[in-house]
Amino acid sequence: MSAVADTLAPPAGARADWTIDQAWDRYGDAEHRVWTTLYERQRALLPGRACDAFLRGLDSLDLHRGGVPDFARINPELSRLTGWSVVAVPGLVPDAVFFDHLANRRFPSGQFIRDGGELDYLREPDIFHDVFGHVPMLTDPVFADYMQAYGQGGLRAVGLDRLHNLARLYWYTVEFGLLQTPAGLRIYGAGIVSSRAESVFALDDPSPNRLAFDLERVMRTPYRIDDFQQTYFVIPSLDALLDATLSDFGPLYDRLRVAADIPIEAVQPGEPAFTRGTQAYARGRAAAVQ
Q: Which residues bind ligand PHE (CB under 6 A)?
A: 146, 149-150, 152-153, 156, 169, 245-249
User: Which residues fall within 8 angstroms of residue 220, CB to CB, at 6 or more apart?
Assistant: 165, 168, 256, 259, 260, 261, 262
CB under 5 to 8 A by kind: which of Fe ion, ligand PHE, none does 153 bind?
ligand PHE
- Between 90 and 191, whose beta carbon lies closer to ligand PHE? 191
- Between 170 and 249, whose beta carbon lies closer to Fe ion? 170
CB of 70 to ligand PHE, least distance (A): 30
- Contact, 275 vs 208, CB < 8 A? yes
CB under 5 to 8 A by kind: which of Fe ion, ligand PHE, none does 245 bind?
ligand PHE
How far separated are the first and last CA of the chain, in Å rounded?
31
- Between 46 and 102, whose beta carbon lies closer to ligand PHE? 102
Residues 179-198, interacting with Fe ion (CB under 5 A) = 190
CB under 5 to 8 A by kind: which of ligand PHE, Fe ion, none does 156 bind?
ligand PHE
Binding residues for Fe ion, total number by CB under 5 A: 2
CB of 257 to Fe ion, least distance (A): 27
Cα–Cα distance measured from residue 233 to residue 46, given in angstroms and rounded to the nearest whole number? 19
Cα–Cα distance measured from residue 180 to residue 193, given in angstroms and rounded to the nearest whole number? 16
CB of 104 to ligand PHE, least distance (A): 15
Ranked by CB distance to ligand PHE, the top (closest) residue is: 153
User: Which residues fall within 8 angstroms of residue 137, CB to CB, at 6 or more apart?
Assistant: 53, 54, 57, 143, 147, 188, 190
Q: What is the DSSP string of 171-206?
A: IIIIIT-EEEETTEEEE--HHHHT-HHHHHHHHH-S
CB under 5 to 8 A by kind: which of Fe ion, ligand PHE, none does 104 bind?
none
CB of 174 to ligand PHE, least distance (A): 9
Residue (of 236, 143, 124) closest to 191 by Cα position: 124
CB under 5 to 8 A by kind: which of Fe ion, ligand PHE, none does 248 bind?
ligand PHE
Q: Which residues of the shown chain bind Fe ion in the complex (CB under 5 A)?
A: 1, 190
